[in-house]
Structure formats: C-alpha cells, structure tokens
Structure 1
C-alpha cells in the first residue's frame, strides 16, 4: 500500500504430510453440497488420475484447493 502497488493473487500452501486433506472427500462433499459457504459458487475440475481442483467463490475472491504433488507429476 505504501508504494501504491497491487496484487491479484495470494497463494497459501499447506504441506499435508499426514493426509488430512483428502481431495476425493473434498470433491465428493462439494458435489453433494455438504459444505458451508457464503458463496454458492463452486467448480470441480479434473479426475482421480490427473488430480482434482476445487474452486469456491467468484472473482475477485476464489479459494482453490488442489493436489500440488499430482500437478508436479503431470509436468514430469
């Protein structure tokens, strides 16, 4: 703010070394509307093999959850 700069994205990473965030469970719960949110907007992309991405909210505020390890595996 002091330099009158702006940013359009903020990434927060969680290293889930214990397997607490199961993407299959997140996708299933989302598809069955078993989540709480002020925004009813969500989108699910992907599959089990390539990895899932779940987006919650609308621009400019979107929360995206995905499996970074699977993303990196796809890139080789």
Structure 2
C-alpha cells in the first residue's frame, strides 16, 4: 500500500509496508546433496579427467558416474567362512 507524502514542493509516493530483514548465509536448497571429500593419487585423477573429457562432463559428474557404474557391477559378498 502506498501513501502520498508531501516533501516541500514535491509529492512522493512511499511504500508503507515494512521490509522483511534479509536472511544471512547461503540459501537452503531442496534435496541438497552431501559433500564427500576424497583424495586420489595424481595418476588416478588424470584417468578420471581423461574419462570426463571423453564423456564431456566435469570431474565431479565423472566421479559420480564412475562410482555408480562400479556399484552396479559389484558382486555380492559371500558370508565369512563360506567358500
């Protein structure tokens, strides 16, 4: 809602609504992912980067896809003591 205010010879419309204070910090994203920090030896990073370049994706997406592929091909473990 606006209210007309007379300032000297000029009439100015001012907003009468109170502004909400800004929230500090980074906004929360819906369905946020979890950060997992991993260390790789330099030769392995080079392999991941080469794979990422061939697939035309970034390093993070390459690591996610390679982990997903590895998990799909995982063999079920046998219980201890069973051969």
TM-score (norm 1): 0.25
Which structure exhibits the higher relative contact order, with contacts defined as CA atoms closer than 8 Å and separated by 6 or more residues? 1
Q: Which has the higher helix share?
A: 2
Q: Which has the higher strand share?
A: 1
